[in-house]
Amino acid sequence: MSKRSQTTALPKENTKPVPTGGDADGKQSPKLRQEYRSRAEREHEIQRWVILGTIAAVAIVVLLLAITFIYDQVITPNQVVLSVDGQSVNVSQFQRRVRLERYLRNQQLTQVVQTYTSFGYTEQQIVQQLQSQEPYSSWIEQLQVPDQMGLAMINTIIEEQLIRNAAKERGITVSQADIDKQINQYFGYEPPAAVGGEATAEATEAATTVPTITPTPYVSPTPSPVPTATLTPEFTATPSATPLATLPPTATLTTDEETKQYQDTRDSVFRTLRQQTGMSDGDINSYFEMQALRIALQDSIASDVTTTGPFVDARHILVATEEEAQDVITAINAGESFADLAKAVSTDTGSGARGGELGWSPASNYVKEFQDAVKIAEIDTIVGPIKTQFGYHIIQVRAREDRELTQDQIDNAKAGAFSTWLEEYKTSKADVTQTNSIWANFVPTTPQTLFG
């Protein structure tokens, strides 16, 4: 039988393999399609979470930046650093005041450096001169040590607020003319007396004098210069990059020219001051208002200061402790030379080198405790120990008499009387004065100065 005749009519069995997971026609099975869709959904879900995570991270960063901005620009500036009789001063006000003081002190120190430089002093000699003079030595140290500058400004702000309160209690006010006078004095300027449109020699001299007033009137409280810590400031004795509060000397300017020169200089200095300190014109005017108010209150407090006063010819030995002072007194009483002891042990090296001699001086030149002692001490009697802020003094008054005071001596006596009153007034207001120690975290070190 042939092979054809041996076949059947039944269809042959399909022996080709069927694709796994699919139908015989090659299409995906429902299960495979479901698995594919599930994987796509998972990938989509992962992408969605990645996007959400990125958005969340960005949102957190933005939030943190916003919190930092709010803290730095809103919360921190408004934190209270001190309060005087219910009136608060915040971080922002404190920082502006410190910057102003740094700027003004740099201006004044720069002028002094320029003056010494013009006389041929070397940098080392200038530093030595400034170290031996107040208030310059204190200014330099404060410019170099932010905490000292900050503390000085805390005390100054407290004083200024107390002065405002005391002036208000006494009905004392100042006018804009009084404020303008303080501004003029800061620049060493007086409106010149016109003679035929030309400035007089006296007026020109007044307009070109280097100003010597300080931001807070300084009254030397020591019988003679007290040694200060050795400083090693580095600076270049050349004009600073900022305009200086000085007027170039001239002998030929007309009244109008001189006035314009002063106004240009003042405007330039104030413009730079605003840029470097962040203060407004109102802040600057308020600063000079305080100077005028201080003087007006001082005149009221010291109205009983006379044109005559006791002068004393005295010598002293200054030591650090009461025990040392007693040892010195014992040695003097045993016959030791006052002058030799002063040269050997006195911490006031200025008078110590002269055997403790202070020479003739108004009693009002000295700090209160020293002043009170020399006013009543028996002539040639050893007095002490007398404690002051500088240590313990052993004093001998050689002679004493009343004399007419010069105007500078009268002003000095008034300033001394006012300083004593102010210290007592501050003590009486201690219970309504609070200081927050956070100020130490916010003491600016700008603008840059010659000494720090």
CATH of the domain at 367: 3.10.50.40
The H helix count followed by the E strand count for the chain is 15, 9
In three-state secondary structure terms, 154 is helix
* Count of beta carbons in the 10 Å neighbourhood of residue 297: 21
Q: Are 435 and 94 in contact (CB under 8 A)?
A: no
Q: Is residue 24 a part of any domain in this protein?
A: no
Q: Is residue 443 a part of any domain in this protein?
A: no
Please tell me whether residues 295 and 320 are part of one structural domain. Answer: no
pLDDT at 207: 39
Please tell me whether residues 152 and 292 are part of one structural domain. Answer: yes
Q: Cα angle vertex 448, ends 444, 451, to 5°?
A: 105
Please tell me whether residues 288 and 207 are part of one structural domain. Answer: yes
Class of residue 351 by CB neighbours under 10 A (exposed 0-12, middle 13-18, buried 19+): buried
Please tell me whether residues 191 and 245 are part of one structural domain. Answer: yes
Please tell me whether residues 97 and 216 are part of one structural domain. Answer: yes
pLDDT at 67: 72
DSSP 8-state assignment for residue 230: -
Q: Which of 157, 158, 186 is nearest to 97 (CA)?
A: 157
Please tell me whether residues 218 and 361 are part of one structural domain. Answer: no
Q: What is the CA radius of gyration of the chain?
A: 40
Q: Is residue 289 a part of any domain in this protein?
A: yes
Please tell me whether residues 335 and 386 are part of one structural domain. Answer: yes
Q: Are 402 and 311 in contact (CB under 8 A)?
A: yes
> Which pairs count as long-range contacts for 298-307, CB under 8 Å and 24+ apart, including other chains?
298/414, 298/415, 298/418, 299/414, 300/170, 300/172, 301/417, 301/418, 301/421, 302/413, 302/414, 302/415, 302/417, 302/418, 302/421, 305/410, 305/413, 305/414, 305/417, 306/405, 307/404, 307/405, 307/410
The residue range of the domain holding 247 is 88-224+235-303
pLDDT at 198: 42
Please tell me whether residues 111 and 162 are part of one structural domain. Answer: yes
Cα(160)–Cα(143) distance, integer angstroms: 21
Q: Is residue 435 a part of any domain in this protein?
A: no
Identify each DSSP E strand in 192-323 by its residue range: 194-195, 198-199, 308-319
Can you name the residues that pair with 278 across neighbouring β-strands?
A: none
Q: Is residue 334 a part of any domain in this protein?
A: yes
pTM listed for this prediction: 0.63
| pLDDT tens-place string over residues 400-424 | 999 988 888 888 888 888 988 999 9
Cα(358)–Cα(222) distance, integer angstroms: 11
Cα(172)–Cα(164) distance, integer angstroms: 9
Cα(114)–Cα(244) distance, integer angstroms: 11
Please tell me whether residues 291 and 335 are part of one structural domain. Answer: no
Q: Which of 269, 288, 276, 287 is nearest to 444 (CA)?
A: 276
Q: Is residue 420 a part of any domain in this protein?
A: no
In three-state secondary structure terms, 329 is helix
Of 76, 100, 133, the one marking the end of a domain is 76
Query: Strands 308-319 and 357-362, how do they pair?
Result: antiparallel
Please tell me whether residues 189 and 333 are part of one structural domain. Answer: no
pLDDT at 231: 34
Cα(346)–Cα(320) distance, integer angstroms: 9
| Residues 6+ positions from 107 with CB-CB distance below 8 Å | 240, 242, 244, 245, 269
Please tell me whether residues 240 and 378 are part of one structural domain. Answer: no
Please tell me whether residues 141 and 279 are part of one structural domain. Answer: yes
Tell me how many domains the chain contains: 3
For residue 413, CA distances in Å to 156, 311, 369, 417 come to: 21, 12, 15, 6
Token pair of 115, please?
A: 């003056």
Q: Is residue 99 a part of any domain in this protein?
A: yes
Q: Is residue 428 a part of any domain in this protein?
A: no
- Provide the residue-wise pLDDT of the chain in tens; the chain has 452 residues: 454 445 555 555 555 555 555 555 555 556 555 565 577 777 788 888 888 888 888 888 887 877 777 766 666 677 999 999 889 999 999 999 999 999 999 988 998 999 999 999 999 999 888 888 888 888 999 999 999 999 999 999 999 999 999 999 999 999 999 999 999 998 888 876 544 444 444 444 443 333 333 333 323 334 443 333 333 333 333 333 344 444 445 457 788 888 899 999 999 999 999 999 888 999 999 999 999 999 999 999 998 888 888 999 999 999 999 999 999 999 999 999 999 999 999 999 889 999 999 999 999 888 889 999 999 999 999 998 999 988 999 999 999 999 988 888 888 888 888 988 999 999 999 999 999 999 999 999 999 998 87
Q: Are 332 and 380 in contact (CB under 8 A)?
A: no
Of 303, 323, 343, the one marking the end of a domain is 303
